[in-house]
């Protein structure tokens, strides 16, 4: 197979530069490492070669191929040594002025056919290329760390980037064993843009006193199906990385409400509680292991009250069947008896609002989140309102824990936890499609590979039902009066007619 770019230059030999160099050499390219810091390129080459040796020991790389890769990994002393490269990839500090200066120097050295790319994660590709004489050969080429394991790369076109350049970069990404996705030059591109909903909405939930960090993490792992809870994820990434990204995208979109950061992370960043790297973040770490408090057992209730279910409950037939399976004494009258536990299952509304609108006794009213199919979850979530009686709260908790499934009881919240977070993720993803930043297909690929979500955000919306997600957002906007929850036109139109969020207009 012919190598698309025979000679590749890498400027910047940090973790990202090393990772790109490794996969480029494995793809058959001659890779030239260059770093302005004395000795950095040499150390990078040693680290890459050591990585290949480990892969050989584990049987994941043939010894002959490792030897060949090492022979293709060269060191450069100056930028002039990159003059014969077909492709030069920059992976240096995230400063616009520094990148502009570098590419102006490179443009004067390399031949006309050389493609110049930046691995920037947050800067405008168009702005970096603004000072170039030939911006048509410049693009963004955003890999994710660790590069050999994170199999997605964003190919970003600036306003003047040639379509042929993007096509060639996509082909080269495939040759390196990665999946390319095409993105327009907008703040956060695809992955960092789409990822805004998960952490920021979770922070709002904690900030409202609805649940603590560990409870939110448990709910989103075990009810919504995420691999890591948002606070576990922020601890892993480090707030010195994640909070500045929140602020950057928020400001680049001129204070768009959907991307509003949280004072919680700002305060913790200022206090040095960054996560695993400092031994303390949202969790405390001992020898790298998070110290998670044990979950309290379900209360023991000797005599459970009868249960009455609101006729407006989401998935009402499924909820009634669940109660039957749990052995509940179900009331079927138009209204509840004076002794009954009153169950509501709203979409987007809080329990207080539902109790008032439906004229229920709030002291006996408890809510349950039924957005997800109960059979697909490992946790149920109940919510009380400010006057729910303790005996009714405990009775509901004990009842829904009867079959051994975990139960979380949270304070009143429009949209519980899962509804809020999932609807926010789906809404932001829908607006990415509405803006034409990328295709729905590339969005799903980028988010699944780049963020590790259980499925793409549009598929997530389809699983819950676009109409349900739309209802959650409308009702949350009513409860909170916050433009953050206004539905994207992409979601509004598809939700209104029951169309898949993955559907592209012809």
Say which residue the tokens 């695809």 belong to. 190
500 among known catalytic residues: no
Tell me which of 119, 192, 310, 475 is the catalytic residue.
Answer: 192
pLDDT at residue number 131: 87
pLDDT at residue number 506: 67
CA atoms within 13 A on the CB side of 349: 16
> In this structure, what token pair is assigned to residue 161?
């980037």
pLDDT at residue number 320: 98
pLDDT at residue number 25: 97
CB of 284 closer than 8 Å to CB of 226: no
Using the CB atoms, write b or e for 255-276: b if 16+ within 10 Å.
ebebbbbbebbeebbeeebbbb
Tell me which of 90, 107, 154, 201 is the catalytic residue.
Answer: 154
pLDDT at residue number 199: 96
Nearest to residue 461, comparing CAs of 474, 452, 470? 470
Per-residue pLDDT of the chain (506 residues; tens, 9 = 90+): 688 999 999 999 999 999 999 999 999 999 999 999 999 999 999 999 999 999 999 999 999 999 999 999 999 999 999 999 999 999 999 999 999 999 999 999 999 999 999 999 889 999 999 989 999 999 999 999 999 999 999 999 999 999 999 999 999 999 999 999 999 999 999 999 999 999 999 999 999 999 999 999 999 999 999 999 999 999 999 999 899 999 999 999 999 999 999 999 999 999 999 999 999 999 999 998 999 999 999 999 999 999 999 999 999 999 999 999 999 999 999 999 999 999 999 999 999 999 999 999 999 999 999 999 999 999 999 999 999 999 999 999 999 999 999 999 999 999 999 999 999 999 999 999 999 999 999 999 999 999 989 999 999 999 999 999 999 999 999 999 999 999 999 999 999 998 999 998 86
Tell me which of 29, 118, 119, 121 is the catalytic residue.
Answer: 121
pLDDT at residue number 3: 86
Give the Cα separation of 205 and 211 in Å (integer): 7
262 among known catalytic residues: no
State pTM to two decimals. Answer: 0.94
> In this structure, what token pair is assigned to residue 254?
């001129």
Tell me which of 5, 142, 193, 243 is the catalytic residue.
Answer: 142
pLDDT at residue number 504: 87
Angstrom distances, CA of residue 199 to CA of 21, 390, 487: 31, 31, 19
154 among known catalytic residues: yes
142 among known catalytic residues: yes
Give the Cα separation of 227 and 200 in Å (integer): 17
pLDDT in tens, 22-43: 999 999 999 999 999 999 999 9
């Amino acid at each position: 197979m012919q190598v698309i770019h025979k000679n590749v230059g890498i400027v910047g030999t940090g973790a990202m530069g090393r990772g790109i160099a490794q996969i480029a050499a494995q793809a058959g390219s001659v890779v030239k490492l260059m770093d302005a810091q004395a000795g950095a390129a040499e150390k990078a080459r040693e680290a890459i070669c050591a990585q290949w040796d480990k892969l050989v020991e584990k049987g994941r790389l043939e010894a002959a191929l490792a030897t060949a890769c090492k022979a293709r990994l060269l060191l450069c002393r100056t930028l002039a040594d990159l003059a014969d490269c077909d492709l030069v990839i920059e992976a240096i500090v995230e400063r616009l002025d520094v990148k502009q200066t570098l590419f102006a120097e490179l443009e004067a050295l390399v031949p006309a056919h050389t493609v110049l790319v930046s691995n920037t994660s947050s800067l405008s590709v168009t702005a970096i290329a603004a000072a170039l004489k030939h911006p048509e050969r410049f693009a963004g080429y955003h890999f994710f760390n660790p590069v050999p394991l994170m199999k997605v790369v964003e190919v970003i076109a600036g306003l003047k980037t040639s379509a042929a350049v993007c096509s060639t970069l996509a082909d080269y990404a495939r040759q390196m064993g990665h999946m390319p996705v095409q993105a327009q030059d907008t703040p956060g591109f695809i992955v960092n843009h789409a990822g805004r909903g998960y952490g920021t909405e979770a922070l709002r939930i904690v900030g409202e006193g609805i649940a603590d960090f560990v409870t939110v993490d448990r709910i989103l792992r075990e009810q919504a199906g995420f691999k890591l809870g948002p606070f576990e994820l922020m601890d892993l990434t480090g707030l010195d990385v994640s909070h500045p990204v929140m602020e950057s995208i928020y400001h680049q979109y001129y204070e768009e409400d959907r991307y509003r950061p949280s004072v919680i992370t700002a305060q913790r960043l200022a206090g040095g509680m960054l996560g695993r790297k400092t031994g303390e973040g949202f969790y405390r770490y001992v020898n790298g292991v998070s110290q998670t408090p044990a979950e309290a057992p379900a209360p023991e209730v000797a005599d459970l009250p009868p249960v009455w279910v609101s006729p407006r409950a989401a998935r009402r037939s499924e909820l009634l069947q669940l109660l039957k399976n749990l052995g509940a004494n179900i009331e079927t009258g138009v209204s509840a008896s004076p002794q009954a536990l009153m169950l509501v299952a709203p979409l987007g509304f809080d329990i207080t609002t539902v109790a008032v609108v439906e004229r229920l006794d709030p002291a006996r009213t408890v809510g349950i989140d039924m957005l997800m199919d109960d059979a697909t979850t490992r946790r149920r979530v109940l919510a009380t309102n400010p006057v729910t009686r303790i005996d009714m709260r405990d009775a509901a908790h004990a009842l829904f824990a009867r079959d051994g499934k975990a139960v979380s009881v949270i304070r009143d919240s429009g949209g519980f936890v899962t509804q809020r977070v999932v609807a926010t993720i789906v809404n932001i993803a829908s607006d990415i499609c509405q803006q034409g930043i990328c295709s729905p297909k590339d969005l799903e690929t980028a988010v699944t590979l780049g963020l590790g979500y259980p499925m793409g955000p549009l598929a997530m919306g389809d699983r819950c039902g676009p109409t349900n997600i739309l209802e959650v957002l409308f009702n949350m906007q009513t409860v909170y009066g916050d433009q953050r929850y206004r539905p994207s036109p992409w979601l509004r139109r598809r939700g209104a007619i029951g169309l898949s969020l993955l559907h592209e207009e012809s």
